[in-house]
C-alpha cells in the first residue's frame, strides 16, 4: 500500500493508519512539481549576489549579516547540519523517528522550502526501507524549530551520523553503501529547510495524541469495572445531570458509562450508601474534561502537520523570499502542555479509585486478598501507582512558560516545545501504567462480588483479562502481572 504525499489534508487518523498498516510513501506528481518549481526559482534567485537572502547567501542566526560566496553555498548547508547535530540524552523511539520523517516530507512537499526533489525522495527511501536516523531527545529549544534533533535526522542524508537498520545501530555511511545510495549534495537553503521546522515536537505530539485518545477510552472501560466492583451508583451518570452543564466530553463520558454498565446486576442492586467518592461520582466531569482537551489539541496538531514550518519561506509565484518565524513552536507547545495535564488527570483519578478498592470499604477485603495480614495483597501496586502519578504531576509544569535567549540574543524568545513534547510522551506512558494497575485491582475486586455479575461488556473484558493475569489468592511476585496488564491495555 502506498500513501502519496500531496497537498491533501492529512489527518491524525490517516497518520496512525500509515504507521500501523505498513504503508510506503511516495511523492504525488503535484508535490514533485511544487518542490521542483521552488528549487528552480531559488537557484535563479541565488545568482543575484547583490540581494542577500537569509540562510541562502548568508550565515545563520546572529550571523545573518555575514555574506557567503556562491562557491561556498553547498558547504554552508553541510556545515549547518554538522554543527547543529548536538543532541544528547535518550534516543527517540523508532516509531516516532518514522513519524518525524513522514512529517518532514509532508512539510517540504508544499513547495515553500526550496529542497531538492532528490533530498525529499531520500527521506522517503529512509522511511520505506526502515533506515531510521539516530536522533536524541534533548537539545532543541523549539525555535528555530527543532534544530538539533532535525540535524541528527539529516546527517545520514550526507552519509554522516548513525542509523538504526534491521534492528542494529550502524554508521550511516555503511548502510548507504550497502543499499547503493550515494550521499546527497545539499544545495543552497536545503540545510535550513531540513533543520528549521517543528517535526520533532509535532511527531511526539501526534504520537502522544493517538495514544491519549485510546487511553481516554480505556479509562472509561477500566473505570466502569472499578465502579461496579466498588458497588457504585449509576445515578451520577444520568443524562439529565449532564445536559444542564452540557460540556461535550462530560456528556460523552456519562453516556459511555451507561452503555458499558447496561445489564449489570451489580449496578442495579439497591445501595446502602447515598453518595460515592468523587473519584467515582465525578468521572464524567474529569474524564470528560480530558476528552475535550484531546479534541482541542487534535485540531491544533492537525493544523501543524499540514503546514510549512521552515525558514525563510519561499513564494515563487510572488517572487518573494520571507525570513519569518513559522518554525516557532509556541502554538503546539501550549497545546502539548495542556494535553499533558489532561492525560495526567486520567491517571490521577485512576489512582484514587485504586486506593478506594483496596481500602476495605463496602465489604471488599483489605488490600483485596482473602487473608490480609499474612498477605499484603494489593497494597504495593497502589504505592506504585501513586509514585507514577506524582512523577506525572511534576512533568506537568508547563515547558512553554520558559524561554532562554540564544544565538547572541537574535533568537531571544523560544517555545521549549520540544521539552513539552517529550514530557507529554512520558506522561502518556505513565498514565497507561496507572490505568493498568487500576485494571489489575478492579478485576480482583470484581471477583469478590460473586455470584453477582457486571454487564456483558465488562464481564467479557474481565474474562479476556483473566487469560493474561490470574486472580491473586496469596502473595506472589506482582510486577509481571502489572506488565501483562499494560500489554493487555495496549491490545484492548
Query: Could you please report the per-residue DSSP string of 210-249?
Result: HHHHHHHHHHHHHHHHHHHHTT--SGGG-HHHHHTT--HH
What confidence tens digit (pLDDT) does each residue in 48-61 have?
766 777 667 666 55
Q: Which domain holds residue 89?
A: 2-197
The verdict on 372 and 416 lying in the same domain is yes
The verdict on 101 and 231 lying in the same domain is no
Q: Which of 270, 276, 237 is nearest to 254 (CA)?
A: 237
The verdict on 179 and 238 lying in the same domain is no
Q: Is the pLDDT of residue 172 over 60?
A: yes
**DSSP three-state, residue 358:** coil
What confidence tens digit (pLDDT) does each residue in 4-29 have?
999 999 999 999 999 999 999 999 99
The verdict on 14 and 140 lying in the same domain is yes
Kind of pairing, strands 24-27 and 2-5?
A: parallel
The verdict on 190 and 210 lying in the same domain is no
State the pLDDT at residue 409.
85
Residue 285 φ then ψ, to 5°: -70, -40
Domain with 43 in it: what CATH number?
Answer: 1.10.275.10
Q: What mean pLDDT is predicted for residues 137-152?
A: 95
pLDDT class of 64 with cuts at 50, 70, 90: low
Q: Is the pLDDT of residue 113 over 90?
A: yes
The verdict on 113 and 244 lying in the same domain is no
Q: What mean pLDDT is predicted for residues 186-190?
A: 92
Q: What mean pLDDT is predicted for residues 116-120?
A: 98
The verdict on 98 and 209 lying in the same domain is no
State the pLDDT at residue 263.
98
Catalytic residues: 54
The verdict on 186 and 233 lying in the same domain is no
Contact between 46 and 73 (Cβ < 8 Å)? yes
pLDDT class of 45 with cuts at 50, 70, 90: confident
Q: Report the share of the chain in percent with pLDDT over 70.
A: 96
Q: Is the pLDDT of residue 63 over 60?
A: no
Which of 181, 197, 213 marks a domain boundary?
197
Q: Is the pLDDT of residue 438 over 90?
A: yes
The residue length of the chain stands at: 492
Core vs surface per residue 120-140: b (16+ CB within 10 A) or e? bbbbbbbbeeebbbbbbbebb
State the pLDDT at residue 408.
86
Distance separating alpha carbons of residues 295 and 292, to the nearest angstrom = 5
Which of 197, 232, 265 marks a domain boundary?
197
Which of 72-76, 416-420, 451-455, 484-488 is the least confident region? 72-76
Distance separating alpha carbons of residues 449 and 378, to the nearest angstrom = 17
pLDDT class of 62 with cuts at 50, 70, 90: low
Which of 58-62, 287-291, 320-324, 416-420 is the least confident region? 58-62
State the pLDDT at residue 125.
98
State the pLDDT at residue 60.
59
Which of 145, 170, 197 marks a domain boundary?
197
Distance separating alpha carbons of residues 408 and 411, to the nearest angstrom = 7
The verdict on 240 and 193 lying in the same domain is no
pLDDT class of 149 with cuts at 50, 70, 90: very high
Residue 43 φ then ψ, to 5°: -60, -40
Domain with 289 in it: what CATH number?
Answer: 1.20.200.10
The verdict on 190 and 211 lying in the same domain is no
Distance separating alpha carbons of residues 111 and 215, to the nearest angstrom = 37
Q: What mean pLDDT is predicted for residues 297-309?
A: 97
Q: What mean pLDDT is predicted for residues 225-249?
A: 97
Q: What mean pLDDT is predicted for residues 242-263?
A: 98
Distance separating alpha carbons of residues 181 and 122, to the nearest angstrom = 9
CB atoms within 10 A of CB 174: 13
> Comparing 67 with 417, which gets the higher pLDDT?
417
DSSP conformation class of 400: G
The verdict on 159 and 255 lying in the same domain is no
Q: Report the share of the chain in percent with pLDDT over 90.
A: 89
State the pLDDT at residue 69.
63
pLDDT class of 138 with cuts at 50, 70, 90: very high
- State how many domains the chain has: 2
Q: Is the pLDDT of residue 71 over 90?
A: no
pLDDT class of 361 with cuts at 50, 70, 90: very high
The verdict on 161 and 255 lying in the same domain is no
Alpha helices in 47-93 (DSSP H): 73-84
Distance separating alpha carbons of residues 400 and 403, to the nearest angstrom = 8
State the pLDDT at residue 407.
87
Amino acid at each position: 500500500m502506498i500513501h502519496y504525499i500531496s497537498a491533501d489534508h492529512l489527518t491524525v487518523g490517516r497518520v496512525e493508519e500509515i504507521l500501523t498498516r505498513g504503508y510506503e510513501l511516495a511523492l504525488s506528481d503535484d508535490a514533485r512539481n511544487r518542490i521542483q518549481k521552488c528549487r528552480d526559482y531559488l537557484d535563479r534567485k541565488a545568482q543575484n549576489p547583490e540581494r542577500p537572502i537569509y540562510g541562502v547567501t548568508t550565515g545563520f542566526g546572529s550571523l545573518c549579516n555575514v555574506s557567503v560566496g556562491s562557491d561556498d553555498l553547498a558547504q554552508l548547508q553541510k556545515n549547518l547540519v554538522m554543527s547543529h547535530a548536538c543532541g544528547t540524552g535518550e534516543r527517540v523511539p523508532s516509531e516516532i523517528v518514522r513519524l518525524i520523517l513522514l512529517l518532514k516530507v509532508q512539510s517540504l512537499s508544499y513547495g515553500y522550502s526550496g529542497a531538492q526533489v532528490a533530498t525529499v525522495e531520500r527521506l522517503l527511501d529512509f522511511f520505506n526501507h526502515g533506515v531510521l536516523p539516530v536522533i536524541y531527545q534533548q537539545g532543541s529549544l523549539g525555535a528555530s524549530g527543532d534544530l538539533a534533533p532535525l540535524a541528527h535526522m539529516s546527517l545520514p542524508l550526507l552519509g554522516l551520523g548513525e542509523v538504526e537498520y534491521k534492528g542494529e545501530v550502524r554508521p550511516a555511511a555503511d548502510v548507504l553503501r550497502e543499499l547503493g545510495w550515494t550521499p546527497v549534495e545539499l544545495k543552497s537553503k536545503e540545510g535550513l529547510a531540513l533543520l528549521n521546522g517543528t517535526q520533532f515536537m509535532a511527531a511526539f505530539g501526534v504520537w502522544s495524541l493517538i495514544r491519549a485518545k485510546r487511553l481516554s477510552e480505556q479509562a472509561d472501560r477500566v473505570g466502569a469495572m472499578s465502579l461496579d466492583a466498588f458497588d457504585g451508583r449509576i445515578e451520577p451518570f444520568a443524562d439529565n445531570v449532564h445536559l444542564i452543564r452540557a460540556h461535550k466530553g462530560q456528556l460523552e463520558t456519562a453516556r459511555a458509562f451507561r452503555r458499558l454498565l447496561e445489564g449489570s446486576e451489580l449496578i442495579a442492586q439497591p445501595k446502602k450508601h447515598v453518595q460515592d467518592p468523587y473519584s467515582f461520582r465525578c468521572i464524567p466531569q474529569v474524564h470528560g474534561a480530558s476528552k475535550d482537551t484531546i479534541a482541542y489539541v487534535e485540531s491544533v496538531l492537525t493544523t501543524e502537520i499540514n503546514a510549512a514550518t521552515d525558514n525563510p519561506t519561499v513564494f515563487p509565484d510572488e517572487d518573494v523570499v520571507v525570513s519569518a518565524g513559522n518554525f516557532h513552536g509556541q502554538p503546539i507547545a501550549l497545546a502539548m502542555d495542556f494535553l499533558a495535564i489532561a492525560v495526567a488527570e486520567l491517571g490521577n483519578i485512576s489512582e484514587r479509585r485504586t486506593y478506594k478498592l483496596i481500602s476495605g470499604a463496602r465489604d471488599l477485603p483489605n488490600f483485596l486478598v482473602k487473608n490480609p495480614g499474612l498477605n499484603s495483597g494489593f497494597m504495593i501496586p497502589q504505592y506504585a501507582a501513586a509514585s507514577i502519578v506524582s512523577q506525572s504531576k511534576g512533568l506537568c509544569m508547563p515547558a512553554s512558560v520558559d524561554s532562554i535567549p540564544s544565538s547572541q540574543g537574535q533568537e531571544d524568545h523560544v517555545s521549549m516545545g520540544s521539552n513539552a513534547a517529550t514530557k507529554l510522551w512520558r506522561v502518556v506512558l505513565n498514565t497507561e501504567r496507572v490505568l493498568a494497575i487500576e485494571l489489575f485491582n478492579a478485576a480482583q475486586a470484581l471477583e469478590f462480588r460473586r455470584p453477582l455479575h457486571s454487564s456483558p461488556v465488562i464481564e467479557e473484558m474481565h474474562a479476556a483479562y483473566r487469560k493474561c493475569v490470574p486472580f491473586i489468592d496469596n502473595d506472589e511476585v506482582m510486577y509481571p502481572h502489572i506488565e501483562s496488564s499494560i500489554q493487555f491495555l495496549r491490545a484492548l
